[in-house]
A and B are shown apart, each in its own frame.
Chain A
């Protein structure tokens, strides 16, 4: 008897006791459904973090000025004017593994177009900034380096700003007054969504050429150096290079800022993605934990399968005896009952997968959590259900195969 026929006869045997079979696999169904739903919700949380890392820009380092002390009053990070455009240029030129190093200034300004106005974050950037953050210009174009050099009065709008100032009109080529200086809109940025850490709307931004921002809108950051900037965004060529890049930026800046050995850094290098990675790892282990708890129900389900298979072997003692009489070997009997148990579990697995995906979708709809049903998880759950069938089906099947034909035939 080949496996296919075994499975058909198994399905037939299970159909004969439809309600009982359905109740038996309930444990497996619930177990698989719980695992699938847990993994889907956990996977959703993880993929949301991954999206956030992607929206931030992968392989990103943030170099900020250090804090300043005025007597006993210590001002916060970024309060010093120790970073300059030249530092950024030096990082880009001298540290291997650095793709771009984008000097940036930032501040708030009031934007006006026609009878609409909006206060927003204004960033003074170079074209490298868009590279560092993997930020695409959706309509229009990015700045040229020439526009940066000449402090051209052009602006790239985030989608939120574009909407607030232009409603449904096309903004390209229009004038926007920023701090009362007219700028021409040359492009609208692609959507980035919420920032992972702060929850700030990343699309609520207007990007100007670095020079234009300093000269015309925000004013010089420092009276000491016109070239002072707020931070440098560094993009490493790969994730592996991050650690060495971070290390070398530190050395380079200490050297450039002529810090004595033992003196504190007057800057700090942060890795924003690291925090998110940690968050992702936490989400991952929570998912694993929940899935492990849910899989306990699979084991319980397996026990109920074993229970009902034992009952079934006893009920069908005469059938087993007859099969033995007409030539079934021990192996034949064992595989028949084993396949029956596995079929039960796999049916439970299929039902559980359907139910689990349904539950995950319902969670997504009702609670609004993101979900991600990974095909691998589905496959693993299915295989695990089958394994439960083999494990818990083996003992009853073995018992059936060891029956004495005469005793079995005589059984009432």
Chain B
């Protein structure tokens, strides 16, 4: 296999809170290859979000090394990290984080704005990204005019629009009902099937079973790692739900966060 896309070794993260040191990560190593779809699961406080922030270059580890596509990204200054985030990483957040006063299309364009793309180019690529999440007809809607699922799909389009190496999804279904969650998972699965590398943070084992690999964390350590034996197919489950689940297989409930 080729070089790993993500190669993180011995990541530690400590916070000073008052006089005590909180160990958010106690040494985590992780390798991701192109086309991976990894779920990081664990209870709150297990350090999964911290790991996500480190992988997304939003934060720096106290110790450890991190190579993204062969580049040592811990040496970079904040502006250079911003550029790496801009070009190589797409973020999907639990709360969507869309700009309320921008249309769906403008929200998707945002990363391209900071990449310095020309107006026409931006428009073209943002429209393509919106179309890929089946929202081509919602381009001029404001976020407040969209449902939660639609907003998250806009966010996915925004994460895609710069053609990133890595998509980081932090509890992407956490704020959605079960059916809408399935839609989002179906989109993520389709992206992965098309070759995208995705890291998904969730505390929900059912959601995790839609990925290919699960990393279980507890107290800042990776305690277990396994391949998903029988990957759930969100699209099939959606189709089934639409047929009134007559075959008897119940749609697994996906509790909201």
Contacts and interface: CB of A to CB of B under 8 A. Distances in A.
The 10 closest A-B pairs by CB, nearest first: A327-B86, A327-B114, A329-B79, A326-B111, A322-B97, A405-B58, A329-B82, A1-B113, A406-B58, A328-B114
Contact of A327 (B82, B97, B101, B102): B82
Contacts of A1: 113-114
Interface in B66-82: 78-79, 82
26 contacts: A1-B113, A16-B101, A318-B97, A322-B97, A324-B58, A324-B82, A325-B56, A325-B85, A325-B97, A326-B86, A326-B110, A326-B111, A327-B82, A327-B85, A328-B82, A329-B83, A329-B114, A330-B78, A330-B79, A331-B79, A332-B114, A405-B58, A406-B58, A406-B59, A409-B58, A409-B97
A257 interface: no
A149 interface: no
A135 B87 CA distance: 77
Nearest to B119: A5
Contacts of A86: none
A297 to B, nearest CB: 31
Contacts of A12: 101-102
Contacts of B115: 327
B132 interface: no
Interface string A375-412: 00000000000000000000000000000011001000
Chain B interface, >50% SS class: helix
Interface string A28-47: 00000000000000000000
Nearest to B114: A327
B110 A13 contact: no
B126 to A, nearest CB: 13
A12 to B, nearest CB: 5
**Size bracket, chain B contacts:** 20 to 34
A409 B93 CA distance: 10
Contacts of A332: 114
B53 interface: yes
B22 interface: no
A151 B181 CA distance: 113
Nearest to A16: B101
Nearest to A322: B97
Contacts of B37: none
Contacts, number: 60
Interface in B13-50: none
A216 interface: no
A328 B58 CA distance: 12
Report whether over half of chain A's contact residues are helix, strand or loop; otherwise say mixed: helix
Q: How big is the A interface, by class?
A: 20 to 34
A51 interface: no
Contacts of B82: 324, 327-330
A138 interface: no
B99 interface: yes
A284 interface: no
B212 interface: no
A326 B167 CA distance: 12
Nearest to A408: B58
A365 interface: no
Residue in B79, B82, B158 whose Cβ sees the most chain A Cβ within 10 Å: B82
A113 interface: no
Given A326-B114, A406-B58, A409-B97, 6 more contacts: A9-B102, A323-B114, A324-B82, A327-B85, A327-B86, A332-B114
A322 B97 CA distance: 7
A321 B170 CA distance: 15
A127 to B, nearest CB: 72
Given A5-B113, A406-B53, A327 B87 contact: yes
A277 interface: no
Contacts of B101: 12-13, 16
B110 A323 contact: yes
A318 B82 CA distance: 16
A51 to B, nearest CB: 54
A327 B53 CA distance: 14
A406 B99 CA distance: 17
A79 to B, nearest CB: 83
A410 to B, nearest CB: 9
B9 to A, nearest CB: 22
A322 B78 CA distance: 15
Contacts of B102: 9, 12
A330 B114 CA distance: 11
